[in-house]
Structures are given as C-alpha cells and as structure tokens.
Amino acid sequence: MRIALFLTCVNDAMFPATGQAVVRILERLGHTVEFPAAQTCCGQMHANSGYRDEAVPMVRHFADTFAPYQAIVAPSGSCVAMVRDAYPRLWPAAAPVAARTYELSELLVDVLGVTDLGAYFPHRVTYHPTCHGLRMLRLGDRPQRLLREVEGLELVELPEAEECCGFGGTFAVKNSGVSSAMLADKCAAIGDTGAEYLAAADNSCLLHIGGGLSREGAGSKPVHYAEILANQKGAG
C-alpha cells in the first residue's frame, strides 16, 4: 500500500523521532511510505479557537496534498480527529481524503490487520488514552492491543486513565490553574503504577505530562507508543 505520513506540527517541530518510528513500522510491514513535503498545519488551532474561516485554506491544502494516497497516517489522535471530524463540515469536498486518514493504531489494527509488529521493549509501561483519541476517534484498546504484543513489555493499568491531563490545546494557556490541578492528578496516578514509561498517542499530551513528571522528579518517562512498536532487539 502507498501510505502518506502526515507528521503534524508538534511532531515535526519537537518529536521527529516519532515520525521516523512510524516509517520504520510500516516499511517493516512491506508498505511504501512517503512524506509529502508540501504538508502544513491541519488548522486545528485555528478552528478550535473560533477562526473556522481561516482554517478552510489549510483544509483545502491538506485535501490537495494528500489526495493521491491510498491511506494517510498520523501519530496523533488530536490532528486525525480534526481531519476526520471537522474537515467535512468546513469544506465538504475534503470528505473522501478525510475518510482515508487514520491514527496509527487504526491503520495497523483495522486496515492492515496486524497487532504483532515484532517489537521488543523490556520495560514496565502504562498507557494514557488522550482525549481526542478516546472521545472523538474512539480508539478503544487498539494501542494497548499493540503494546501487549511487544516482547518484554509489561503493560500496567493507569488509574483514572480516562481523565484528561489538562493540556487540551489552548486550554492549558487560558486556564492554567485548572490545567495544573488536572496535571497533578495525572502525574500522581502515573506514579502509583510504578511504570518506567508513560505511553500515549499524542506527543502534545506527553509534552505536558512529561513536564509535570520532570518537575516532580518522577521515575516515569514519556514516550510515544509508535517508538515502542518500532523498537527491536539490539536497537535499545
């Protein structure tokens, strides 16, 4: 299958290793992965802030850029939710491309029909289901099903896992006090698991939670689950 990688802004600017991990996973499965260099922001920040008309040019550009591909994959539940949920309402002609856009676990489990990727990660891991993936994409346990197949990985349940971490795009900026309280609860729950790593599907949430864990001197380190799935014996 010819698959396009939609890397998203946060990953492009701060977490390029996550996109590289997605490419390694899919190429290991025998697929052709391309990175359309013309891709830009999906417009989520504009739309979520009330600037819907200003987001439409980015919607049109996304649809034009990714139209040639059989499938589009992103390591972000947040941006995929923007594409799948908001694009058809902002510009109906984008609906066909939006329907072919998947969060990584959707592509692997639902489209490609695989859960065992031959990964190796000998660590204790807990998983935070981010809000867009949980409530808009309804990813369910797809990421956990993939993680359970990883050799050496011990997946431990996160207490109150469905509680938001307090990031939420501009929410953390506009409501810093409430956001900080939510983050403290999330960090405490992670600490209770004794996990070495906290995995999630959105690096934006991991950036927020990781800041809290770092300030507290906690033992858990944030990692995008794609980077776990890409890891193999002898690689670390």
**pLDDT tens digits for 52-91?**
999 999 999 999 999 999 999 999 999 999 999 999 999 9
> What are 193-216's pLDDT values in tens digits?
999 999 999 999 999 999 999 998
Give, as one character, the DSSP assignment of residue 8.
Answer: -
Instruction: Please say if the pLDDT value at position 185 is more than 90.
Output: yes
Instruction: Please say if the pLDDT value at position 236 is more than 60.
Output: no
pLDDT value for 168: 83
> What are 130-170's pLDDT values in tens digits?
999 999 999 999 999 999 999 999 999 999 999 999 998 78
For tokens 């000998």, the residue is: 122
pLDDT value for 171: 85
Task: Quote the radius of gyration of the chain (alpha carbons, Å).
Answer: 17
pLDDT value for 96: 98
> What are 25-56's pLDDT values in tens digits?
999 999 999 999 999 999 998 998 899 999 99
User: At 75, is the secondary structure helix, strand, or coil?
Assistant: coil
